[in-house]
Amino acid sequence: MAKKYLGQNFLFDPSILHRIVEAADITHNDTVVEIGPGPGTLTKILAGVAKKVIAIELDLELYTKLKEEIEKIKSSHPFTHLPTYPFNIELVHADALKYHYEELEPFKVVANIPYYITTPIIFRLIEARKNLKSMTLTIQKEVAQRIVGKPNTKDYGVLSIAVQYYGKPELKFIIPKSAFRPVPKVDSAVIHIEIFEKPTVTVKDEKLFFRIVKTAFSQRRKMLSNSLKPISKDIREILTNAKIDPNRRAETLSIKEFAILANSIESA
Ligand code: SAH
């Protein structure tokens, strides 16, 4: 029985699983971290193309089952010295939100993410991005659309900026909910996020930058001269000096304009 509270919606269709691996652009030099391997369908395909797969599963029952299956394949394998499948799978029983990604060699993440932790996992990975090259994630379609959202659209917001500041997200394809077992309530999408070595824009104070973004979008229908008052009582003047019309709304500002604004507030 799938555990709903652990976001267990499994994928078995080999053609979809192969498309995910293709979107992740994995080569035999790559270390891949898979979050939530579940029954291991994606894990085994990944292990066939990657140098190493570290698969982190929280559910002890699924972890134990997959562990036994991998051990069985290993013991029936004649070439026990091979550094490849199935010997390159390291199965870990842990909470992916608490994993020490910082200590890994350069790696790529591939995951059909449990829905209940979609944004915390993305933020945890961004925080631990030192050696993270890319993430290829199967997530709810609506969240994927927000991540790739561009200015002047309803999808554009804090999540778009938080991800696009650190990387380049691309929506690869949609997976209809009917492809999952059990069938979830919403469709999913596969997104690929390439992590930049340096953020897209130069910001002197990242905390302030994100505080401005969050404050501006917390009242997204208001003009910036009003919504950003909690940041500074001189906000109208600061906006004008930064050549941003104080009558504009949050969703019209590019990431670059938010950066210009943050930098001019910092030096105001
Ligand atoms: N990759 C599989 C399973 C996806 S379902 C497939 O595509 O079919 C999500 C998986 O994440 C489940 O196996 C669930 O037990 C696991 N999971 C849920 N919360 C987790 C957490 N915090 N850390 C690691 N794995 C988790």
Q: Which atom of ligand 1 is nearest to the CA of 180?
A: 8
| CA 71 – ligand 1 centroid, Å | 20
Instruction: Enumerate the domain spans of the chain.
Output: 4-195, 206-267
Identify whether the C-beta of residue 101 lies closer than 8 Å to the C-beta of residue 131: yes
CATH T-level assignment (fold) for domain 4-195: Rossmann fold (3.40.50)
pLDDT score of 81: 66
Identify whether the C-beta of residue 90 lies closer than 8 Å to the C-beta of residue 74: no
pLDDT score of 268: 63
9 lines ligand 1 (CB under 6 A): yes
Decide which of 33 and 198 is more confident: 33
Cα 90 → chain centroid: 21
11 lines ligand 1 (CB under 6 A): yes
Residue 97 has pLDDT above 80, yes or no: yes
**How many percent of the chain have pLDDT more than 90?**
90
Residue 62 has pLDDT above 70, yes or no: yes
| CA 170 – ligand 1 centroid, Å | 23
Task: Give me the mean pLDDT over the 182-199 stretch.
Answer: 96
95 lines ligand 1 (CB under 6 A): yes
Q: 3-state SS string over 224-255?
A: HHHHCCCCCCCHHHHHHHCCCCCCCEHHHCCH
| CA 82 – ligand 1 centroid, Å | 28
Query: What is the value of pTM for the model shown?
Result: 0.94
Decide which of 162 and 79 is more confident: 162
37 lines ligand 1 (CB under 6 A): yes
Residue 76 has pLDDT above 90, yes or no: no
Task: Give me the mean pLDDT over the 94-109 stretch.
Answer: 97
Q: Which atom of ligand 1 is nearest to the CA of 96?
A: 23
| CA 112 – ligand 1 centroid, Å | 7
Task: Check for a shared fold between 4-195 and 206-267.
Answer: no
Say whether the peptide bond before residue 176 is cis (omega within 30 degrees of 0).
no
pLDDT score of 236: 96
* Candidate from 46, 60, 112 with most ligand 1 atoms within 8 A of CB, to mutate: 112
| β-bridge mates for residue 231, sequence order | none
Q: Which atom of ligand 1 is nearest to the CA of 12?
A: 8
Residue owning the nearest CA to atom 16 of ligand 1 = 36
Q: Mean pLDDT over all residues of the chain?
A: 95
As a CATH number, domain 206-267 is 1.10.8.100
pLDDT tens for 103-146 read 999 999 999 999 899 999 999 999 999 999 999 999 999 999 99
35 lines ligand 1 (CB under 6 A): yes
Task: Give me the mean pLDDT over the 45-67 stretch.
Answer: 97
Residue owning the nearest CA to atom 3 of ligand 1 = 38
Identify whether the C-beta of residue 172 lies closer than 8 Å to the C-beta of residue 190: yes
